[in-house]
Amino acid sequence: MTLEQARKSFRQHDTPRVRTPRLRLKPKAPPSGHVDGAWWPSSDDLTTELPDLIAVLSFRLGEIDRVTYNVNEWIEAPAQFTTGGRPVQLDGRHRQSSNTLEVLDANRNKIVLLVVPWYTAPDYAYAIVMSAAAPNDASSVDALLMISEQDRESRTRATAAQGRWESQGRSQRSASRKRHRPQTISRDFPV
């Protein structure tokens, strides 16, 4: 059984939990800054984390229609899932700004959240969430996460290289070559 199969199996038999998402939004006002607030999920499983987040954000946006996210930051998620009796489109993008999540209603009103990585130390995560939700904060995502320009550039190049690798099918071709590699015949040691 793979890790993903185990997670799905556990989710099917687990009783629904009610959790308050670790979320802080800027007050309702004209937009300021790069994000409208911050969210610190408990895991990298988007379909497990989103129901509670969507329930809370529905009070501000109304019915949530779509969520866009960076596919490199979450385990694989379906293109659509149902929460609160409503279908929600999950739009994973390779070019989505890192550490962000966009939540859109049916009228395309949106909330852009800074996503604090789930493995972040609690004190550090709390400080980031509070800073991002400050009413007049105009800091960039990188500044809020205290990521230097050099680190971001390095991460961007690595992500782009991985995307090229996957889009060209090399990762799949390499895997199939390993499985179907003909045996090498050696003169010294017959096979």
The total number of structural domains in the chain stands at 2
Instruction: Check whether residue 87 and residue 110 sit in a common domain.
Output: yes
pLDDT digits (tens, 9 = 90+) for 135-174: 888 877 877 887 655 555 565 566 666 666 766 665 454 4
Cβ proximity of 72 and 159 under 8 Å: yes
Instruction: Check whether residue 41 and residue 133 sit in a common domain.
Output: yes
pLDDT of residue 53: 94
Q: CB burial class (10 A; 0-12, 13-18, 19+) of residue 125?
A: middle
Domain for residue 189, yes or no?
Answer: no
pLDDT of residue 52: 93
pTM: 0.67
pLDDT of residue 114: 92
Q: Which residue has the higher pLDDT, 145 or 129?
A: 129
Domain boundaries, position 87? 3-147
Closest CA relative to residue 35, chosen from 132, 146, 135, 147: 132
Cβ proximity of 138 and 32 under 8 Å: yes
Domain for residue 116, yes or no?
Answer: yes
Instruction: Check whether residue 132 and residue 162 sit in a common domain.
Output: no
Instruction: Check whether residue 130 and residue 157 sit in a common domain.
Output: no
Instruction: Check whether residue 135 and residue 69 sit in a common domain.
Output: yes
Q: Which residue has the higher pLDDT, 36 or 138?
A: 36
Instruction: Check whether residue 115 and residue 161 sit in a common domain.
Output: no
Instruction: Check whether residue 106 and residue 159 sit in a common domain.
Output: no
Domain for residue 67, yes or no?
Answer: yes
> Does residue 88 register a pLDDT over 90?
yes
Beta-carbon contacts of residue 3 (< 8 Å; ≥ 6 apart): none
> Does residue 18 register a pLDDT over 60?
no
**Cβ neighbours, 10 Å, residue 17:** 8
pLDDT digits (tens, 9 = 90+) for 7-17: 454 344 443 45
Instruction: Check whether residue 86 and residue 166 sit in a common domain.
Output: no
Domain for residue 61, yes or no?
Answer: yes
pLDDT digits (tens, 9 = 90+) for 169-191: 654 544 444 444 333 333 343 43
Instruction: Check whether residue 76 and residue 31 sit in a common domain.
Output: yes
